[in-house]
Each structure stands twice: as C-alpha cells, then as structure tokens.
Amino acid sequence: MPLQSRHLLGLDGMRREDIQLILDTAVSFREVLDRPIKKVPPLTGKTVANMFFENSTRTRLSFELAERRLSADVLGFAATGSSVSKGETLKDTARNIEAMKVDMVVMRHSAAGAPHYLSRVIEANVINAGDGSHEHPTQALLDMYTIREKLGRLQDLHVCILGDISHSRVARSNIFGLKTMGARVTVCGPATMIPREITRLGVEVCHHIDDVLPSVDVLNVLRIQLERDAGRLFPSLREYHNFYGITRKRLEKAGRTITIMHPGPINRDVEISADVADSEHSVILQQVLNGVAIRMAVLYLLSSRT
Amino acid sequence: MQLLLKNGRLVDPLTGRDEALDLLITDGRIDRIGHSLTSASAQVIELRGKVIAPGFIDMHVHLREPGFEYKETIASGCAAAAAGGFTAVCCMPNTNPPIDDESVIRFIQARAKVALGGLVDVYPVAAVTMARKGEHLAPLAELATAGAVAFSDDGDPVADTELMRRALEYSAMFGKPVIQHAQDPALSKGGVANEGFVATSLGLPVIPRLAEEIMVARDIRLAAYTGGLYHVAHVSTAETLATIRKGKADGVHVTCEVTPHHFVLTDESLRSFDTNFKMNPPLRTQDDVEAMKGWNDRCHCDRSCAPLVR
Amino acid sequence: MRRLKAQIIDQDGFDRTTIRLAHEILEKNRGAGNIVIVGIRTRGEFIARRIARIIEEVEHTTLQIGSLDITLYRDDLLGKLEQPQLKGTDILFDISGKDVILIDDVLFTGRTIRAALDELIDLGRPRTIQLAVLIDRGHRQLPIRADYVGKNIPTAAQESIRVHVKEVDGEDAVLLMHPEE
C-alpha cells in the first residue's frame, strides 16, 4: 500500500493510513541509526536537491543526513549567492535544477504554497521542508513519532501547542496530523498570537497556560521569534516568560507528568526554562534524532512514487 | 458605406430597451433602429443569438504607460478594452512618472488618440498627492483643467486623515471625485489574504476586512463634513457596502464600484495556491459575495497586467 | 493462480530436517560457543528460531537470535512498482567476531543472500558467516552456495517453492507449485 501522493506538501488532508505508514516505516530507519554503519543503499543512484530559499540549519542538516544515509547523491542549494538574488523566477530556478536530472527536491521557502507551485511545474518528487507560516510536515511527523515512541499512542492524547500559533508552520502541521490521528489538541498563547477561526480546525483555544496544563499529556513549546515579535505581539520577553514560560514550578503546580517537546532552536529561559528543557520528561533531543529517521522514511516511500 | 445588423438582441440600459431588432448604420452612425430593416447597398451581418449594446465603460483600469511598458501599453490596453466591448476606460495614475503633472495627461491623451485610431476613449485619473506618496497635494486644479476626470492614489490609499480632508475639499471645487483605494496601511501591512478560516488554514499573512471598513467609514465622515465627492474603488466587504449605503441615505456624495472577481469568487480559491487568485483587495467570503450581488453602483475590471512574480 | 504440484516435505519431514540442520551446525562449529543465529524475514526468521531452539536444548545454552529485513538492500528496489513494506531488522547484539548462522527458507537466485551479506557486514565484522537453508532449488544467478542444506530440490525456473510455517501459515510444509497460468 503506497502513499497516496507522490509529493509530501503538507499534512492537511493526508490520509490516516499514509501517516501511519510513514511512522511505521520510520521505525525501521530509526534502527539503522543505531548501527555502527548508519547507511543503507535504497536510494543509490537517486539525486536529491535541497533547495533552501530561507535560512535553516537544522532542518537542512537533518534532510541531508537522511539523504546520505539512504545512499542518495545530494545537491545543496542556498538562496544567498544563488540565482534568486539575480531575479530568476522560482519556476526557472527549479527547471534548471531539474534539467540536471534531479529525482527529488526538498524545499524550504518563505512563501506559503511555494512547494505546491513547484510540484505543478516539475517532474521530481517534492518534499516541503517548511513554506512560510503554512506547513512543516516532516516536523509534525517527527513530533508524532516521538510522542508515539514515548507514550505508545496518539489516539485520545491531549496535546497542547504553546506560543505564536499565527506564524507557526509547525503548529499547523501538528494540528492537521494530530487531529487525523485522533488526538485532542489545544492551542495556547496570547490572543495576539492565535489566528482567527482556528477552532474550525477542531482545536481548543486557551489563553492561560495554567488552566490547561492539568489535563495535558504532551506540551509542544514553540520558539518565540525574539527579533520579530517583541513589542507588537506581546509587550516584552519578561512578560512572556512570566505568563507563558514553561518552568519547573509551573509544571509542578499542574501536578501531572507532561512530556515536553520543542521544535528548536530553543531560547533557554524565555519560552522554556533550562531545567525543564534538560529534564527527564523533555524529549527535545529524541525529536532531533527521530527527525532523521522520519525524513529517511519519507524519502524512501516517495522514491518509488515516480 | 452602410452596415445592416440583423436580428441582434439590442440591450440599452439607458432607454430600458431589450429586444431583437435590426440596426442600420450609415457612415459610422446609427441611422435607423427597427424590425425587418432592408437596404440594397448595405453589408449585412446576421447577429441572431448575439447581443448589441452601447460601448461599455471601465472606470478603473491600469494602462501602465508611461513607465511600465513591459507590462502593458496604452495601445495594448485599448486593444484589450475594444476586444471586450469597452469603448471608454479611466486609467489609474500609478505609472512612472505618475499622473501628477498635466504633461503626463497630455502624453496619455496623445497616445490614446493614435491607438486603434482613437476607437477607445481614455480618461486619465490623476494622482491625489505628489508622486502618490500621500504627503503633499498634487496640482489638482491644473490636472482637472488638463482633462483628469477624477483623483486617486490607487494602489495606495490616502492614509493621512488631514490630507484626505483637504483633497475632498479642494477637488469638490471642480466637481471631481476622489477615488480611494481604501485600506489602512498599518492593519494590512504585508498581508495577501482575507483574515479568516482560509488564511488561518493556509498560514497566509492577512489583510483584515477592518482595514477597508475603517477607512471607508472615516472617509464618508470626511465627505459629509467637507461636502466632497467620494468614490470607493473595488469594494470587497459587505460591511463596507452597508456603510456606503448608509452614507448615501444620509445625503453624502458617495459612490462605489465592485470588480467581477469580488462578486464571483471567494477566498476558498486560495486553497489551490494559484497566484491568479491573489489580489488586492483580497477575495473575501461567500457572505461578502452575496452582498455585492445585491447592490452595485458600477462594475469595473481593475485590469492590470503584471509579469510573473517570484 | 498457481496450482499445487506436489508436497515435498510434510510435518515430520520438516522436524527431521531442522533437527539435522541444527546438528550439522553444531558439529561444524564444534559446539554453540561462538554462534549467533540470524533469520531472514519473513519465513527464514521462524525457521531460524526452530533451529536455535533445538541447539539450545542439545547444548543447554541460550543463543542470541536476530532477524534481518533485507528490503533496503535489494537490487530491484528502484524498478519495482509495488514498494515492499519494511518489516525492520532486529539484531540487538554485536555480531563482530561471531560465527553468524544466516538462515533462510529457500535458496534460489542468490540475490536475497547477497543483500543479506551486505547488510550483515554493515552491522559489524563477523568471524564467519555460514548459510543454512531449508530448500536449495538451484538456478543461481550469483556465486553463492549454502553451508547447510535441508533438501536439494531440482525445479524448473518457472515453478515455485512455497514454504509454510506454523507461525504464519498454520502448518509446517514445503510445497512445489506449477508455473503461473
């Protein structure tokens, strides 16, 4: 039973059995990562281009590692210093890359929908590595994988996503994926960071984190964009930390074991305190490791969908 | 030289006529209208099932010339208008240089006269402010005298409340309206889509309906206070229409226009990520579409050509 | 649909064959001291467990047993329309320095064994790798042979061999099938 689509553009509308297949396949690749030689041959002879039109270090590294561990040939492409700054359209850039006989394209772009557009103009399989504030499907898949690894299931778990929901592609992909897999999802943050009509996605909205923590199984803490948001979306980092920062004290008051996640990179002692980030309930580093396995699974499953 | 149009459906809103009739045209002028007309010398064109109407007027187009001839020229814009049945167009001033000087009006008039032999009448809409920057009034008197039919900074609003007041006061002296691209810049900064469920699902930066509604409400108060002539370009929300309707009822000189895409399409089209559906003002919701269908002063195309965007 | 041509091994034959293979492995390796058992998924895994259990009983010892999913090492993966589902490799011990007894149900072209050897070598550096199969039906495409063979069955290339194991198929048997019709 192969994946329905030959691209991974987002989790919005993805079938439950497809998500299940990716998560199950990732288990095999997670095992590969524990081997002395962490490399398997299924993508031998395939070429993958990583087109990152927006800065990213860890997602790019994670994809690159996944590609190399599947024995693919890897092409790197960073927006700075490339043809983008010379005025070439996305379509022309992509077609040029494709003319070099690339089989798959992994794309990060600041505009929502850019990979969807790309998938219509080129033949290669397209994987969305983050498009604007829209989706970041592999991040949500690795989050779900990590939750399932830690708690054994997704069905009926209560997952709270905390932070700037409006501008978060991680939040959106998690909402789509988790709802499909039967989880209960609450989004939490100041009203300035919750987009309008989001409850129509089947999530609950909460503005006071202490109200929701006592019923939460998993807390996914989003990164606060220091540069962009302070002064407009919330008054100050101090105030954000006091009202939304996840500290040991706040978690103890909740009186419940909560698995702590964060897509990284973390701002220590802003959205999450250092002791919580390093605690035994934090799975932040497992997320990073599982990210490689999930990306291997996605690349592997799509490689046969020509 | 005679031309006989047979059996066309003649639609003329001015006289309320809508029936199958024949038209006899002599030397470019309508000679006779009636049933079963004949003429020995005329060239006969059978028009059964087709519509004959007076030339349409598009009061809001972008001809791009001068300055952006790679997107559109006065000649290509006029050809497009004629092909669509439009015999008159009002062209917006966001050219380079913008239409903030009578010389630009003269240039446009001269170009229009030679395009298709002057088949399409081109009426320039001049800028409200110098360089459309929203800081100083353009020479509205000179521009009106040269042939400007209205004033607008279209593409951008006149955001400064005091300047908008002065523009309405000043332009009223010549009986010319100020056409506002109503959109509060602070509320709409960086936005591309209607704020609502679709933008929330797709993670698109938003232009809330408020940005338009607040500015229209403000401007109607200004028009009432100054006695100015106020026209709202491309209305996109039901609430804006309601505010305009109330302004009219209160005796304010306010008019508006709606584009076809805003009374046919909704923001649901954005789900395809086809950039043809990305526009300014953005497509709104079904409720807005229904309100537009119910009430409309004028319809225009906002035809504006742009090359592929990155 | 393939039709049954003959049953080659029945329940008793199956038991006798696995017992003999276990003893041959012990004899050649002079005991079970350095042996680890690896079965190739799916059915090789179950045959490996049978053989391992017999060795454990005879030698009064406990063996390390793992299973190998060779899917990622197949040489026909890119051309395939139906992507095989991954079942996962499950070897929770270090094979370096060990005598690895690699077990599969049927030895045919040799390509599965080639893939298994490549994967094993990526997992460590065994002292030896020895191959045990229930059935060798010939038609090799690679220079590979088995160290322990349950039964040699000459076949036509278009025929097929089906091995049934209780854990999956509800019975232990080896069946020879007619060519596809």
- For A144-189, write each residue's pLDDT tens digit: 999 999 999 999 999 999 999 999 999 999 999 999 999 999 999 9
- Is residue A91 part of the annotated active site? The answer reads no
pLDDT for A56: 85
Query: What's the pLDDT band for C50 if we cut at 50, 70, 90?
Result: very high
* Beta pairing partners, A158: A184
pLDDT for B307: 42
Is A6 within a domain? Answer: no
pLDDT for A5: 93
Is A9 within a domain? Answer: no
Provide the angle, in degrees to the nearest 10, between the axes of the packed helices B209-226 and B161-172: 50
Is A236 within a domain? Answer: yes
Number of domains chain C is built from: 1
**B163 and B19 in a common domain:** no
How far apart are the CA of A249 and the nearest CA of chain B, in angstroms?
A: 33
Query: What's the pLDDT band for A69 if we cut at 50, 70, 90?
Result: very high
For residue C175, give the DSSP letter: E
**B149 and B13 in a common domain:** no
**B115 and B68 in a common domain:** yes
For residue A219, give the DSSP letter: E
CB contact under 8 A, B310 and A12: no
Q: List all chains that touch chain C, counting a touch as 3 or more CB pairs closer than 8 Å.
A: A
Q: What is the mean pLDDT of residues B22-34?
A: 90
Greatest Cα pair distance in chain C: 49
**A141 and A100 in a common domain:** no
**A155 and A96 in a common domain:** no
pLDDT for A226: 73
pLDDT for A241: 93
- Which tokens go with B182? 């109503």
- Is residue A262 part of the annotated active site? The answer reads no
Terminal Cα-to-Cα distance of chain A (whole angstroms): 15
Q: With residue B24 as reference, give the H or E element that holds it.
A: strand B17-26
- In whole angstroms, what is the distance from residue B28 CA to residue C166 CA? 96
Q: In this predicted structure, which of A288-292, B26-30, B246-250 has the lowest mean pLDDT? A: B26-30
What b/e string do you get for A292-304 counting C-beta neighbours within 10 Å, with b at 16 or more?
A: bbbbbbbbbbbbb
- In whole angstroms, what is the distance from residue A255 CA to residue A213 CA? 9
Residues of chain C neighbouring A46 (CB-CB closer than 8 A): 78
Name residue A240's amino acid.
Answer: Y
Beta strand segments in chain A, E: 47-52, 73-78, 104-109, 125-131, 158-162, 184-188, 204-206, 218-221, 259-261
In A, minimum Cα distance to B195 occurs at A196
Q: In this predicted structure, which of A127-131, A216-220, A221-225, B13-17 has the lowest mean pLDDT? A: B13-17
Q: In this predicted structure, which of A225-239, B7-21, B225-239 has the lowest mean pLDDT? A: A225-239
**B75 and B209 in a common domain:** yes
pLDDT for A225: 79
In B, minimum Cα distance to A87 occurs at B310
Is A1 within a domain? Answer: no
In C, minimum Cα distance to A27 occurs at C88
Q: In the predicted model, is pLDDT for residue B17 greater than 90? A: no
Q: What is the mean pLDDT of residues C131-136?
A: 97
**B124 and B86 in a common domain:** yes
Is A152 within a domain? Answer: yes
**B72 and B12 in a common domain:** no
Q: Read off the CATH number of the domain in which C94 is found.
A: 3.40.50.2020
What b/e string do you get for C49-62 counting C-beta neighbours within 10 Å, with b at 16 or more?
A: bbbbebbbeeeeee
Number of Cβ atoms within 10 Å of the Cβ of A192:
12
Contact B309/A114 with Cβ under 8 angstroms? no
- In whole angstroms, what is the distance from residue C17 CA to residue A296 CA? 40
Residue with tokens 């953005």: B282
Mutation pick from A95, A194, A196 vs chain B, by most beta carbons of B within 10 Å, is A196
pLDDT for B12: 87
Q: Which domain holds residue C154?
A: 2-77+84-179
Contact A121/A99 with Cβ under 8 angstroms? no
**A145 and A269 in a common domain:** yes
pLDDT in tens, B111-154: 999 998 888 999 999 999 999 999 999 999 999 999 999 999 99
**B82 and B222 in a common domain:** yes
Residue with tokens 């996109």: B236
Q: In the predicted model, is pLDDT for residue B301 greater than 80? A: no
pLDDT for B306: 43
Q: What is the dihedral of CA C124, C125, C130, C134, to 10 degrees?
A: 10
- In whole angstroms, what is the distance from residue B240 CA to residue B232 CA? 9
A vs B: CB pairs below 8 A: 45
Q: Read off the CATH number of the domain in which A153 is found.
A: 3.40.50.1370
Q: How many percent of chain A have pLDDT more than 70?
A: 96
**A221 and A82 in a common domain:** no
| Residue A271 neighbours by CB under 8 Å, 6+ apart | A162, A163, A221, A222, A223, A224, A240, A241, A244, A245, A246, A262
Using a CB–CB cutoff of 8 Å, tell me whether C62 touches chain A: no
How far apart are the CA of C90 and the nearest CA of chain A, in angstroms?
A: 8
- In whole angstroms, what is the distance from residue C21 CA to residue C37 CA? 13
Query: Model's pTM, two decimal places?
Result: 0.88
In A, minimum Cα distance to B310 occurs at A89
* Nearest-5° Cα angle at C47, C43 to C48: 110
Query: What's the pLDDT band for A80 if we cut at 50, 70, 90?
Result: low
Is B42 within a domain? Answer: no
Nearest to A11 by CA among A181, A125, A155: A181
pLDDT for C78: 65
Q: How many percent of chain B have pLDDT more than 90?
A: 78
Q: In the predicted model, is pLDDT for residue A229 greater than 70? A: no
Rounded to the nearest integer, the mean pLDDT of chain A is 93
Residue C102: what are its φ and ψ, rounded to 5°?
A: -90, 125
pLDDT for B302: 57
Number of Cβ atoms within 10 Å of the Cβ of A246:
22
Within A7-89, residue ranges assigned H as helices are 16-32, 58-69
- In whole angstroms, what is the distance from residue C179 CA to residue B174 CA? 95
Q: In the predicted model, is pLDDT for residue B27 greater than 70? A: yes
Q: List all chains that touch chain B, counting a touch as 3 or more CB pairs closer than 8 Å.
A: A
Nearest to B179 by CA among B255, B124, B242: B255
Q: Which domain holds residue B237?
A: 56-309
Rounded to the nearest integer, the mean pLDDT of chain C is 93
Q: What is the mean pLDDT of residues B3-16?
A: 89
CB contact under 8 A, A41 and C72: yes
Number of domains chain A is built from: 2
Q: In the predicted model, is pLDDT for residue B38 greater than 90? A: no
Burial classification of residue B189, based on how many CB atoms lie within 10 Å of its CB (0-12 exposed, 13-18 middle, 19 or more buried): exposed
CB contact under 8 A, B202 and A112: yes
Number of residues assigned to chain B: 310
| Residue B240 neighbours by CB under 8 Å, 6+ apart | B182, B209, B212, B213, B216, B232, B256
- In whole angstroms, what is the distance from residue C121 CA to residue C114 CA? 11
Across the interface, of A116, A133, A200, the residue whose CB is closest to B273 is: A116
Contact B286/B292 with Cβ under 8 angstroms? no
Query: What's the pLDDT band for A79 if we cut at 50, 70, 90?
Result: low
- Is residue A39 part of the annotated active site? The answer reads no
Number of domains chain B is built from: 2
Is A239 within a domain? Answer: yes
Separation in Å, CA B267 to CA A139, B150, B206, C37, C121: 27, 31, 11, 62, 57
pLDDT in tens, A185-199: 999 999 999 999 999
Contact B273/A120 with Cβ under 8 angstroms? no
**B20 and B80 in a common domain:** no
pLDDT for A96: 85
Residue with tokens 């007041």: B165
Contact A259/A218 with Cβ under 8 angstroms? yes
**A185 and A280 in a common domain:** yes
**B8 and B100 in a common domain:** no
Q: What is the mean pLDDT of residues A45-74?
A: 94
pLDDT in tens, B138-149: 999 999 999 999
- In whole angstroms, what is the distance from residue C117 CA to residue C147 CA? 14
Rounded to the nearest integer, the mean pLDDT of chain B is 91
pLDDT for C94: 94
**B226 and B194 in a common domain:** yes
Q: Which domain holds residue A164?
A: 137-284
- Is residue A59 part of the annotated active site? The answer reads yes
Residue B90: what are its φ and ψ, rounded to 5°?
A: -105, 120
pLDDT for B309: 31
| Residue B245 neighbours by CB under 8 Å, 6+ apart | B295
Question: Of residues A7, A69, A108, A109, which has the active-site annotation?
Answer: A108
Contact A279/A268 with Cβ under 8 angstroms? no
Q: In the predicted model, is pLDDT for residue C178 greater than 80? A: yes
Q: In the predicted model, is pLDDT for residue C54 greater than 80? A: yes
Q: With residue A290 as reference, give the H or E element that holds it.
A: helix A284-303
Number of residues assigned to chain A: 306
The better pLDDT of the pair B296, A217 is held by: A217
Across the interface, of C80, C89, C90, the residue whose CB is closest to A304 is: C80
Q: In the predicted model, is pLDDT for residue B192 greater than 90? A: yes
pLDDT for B176: 95
Q: In the predicted model, is pLDDT for residue C79 greater than 50? A: yes
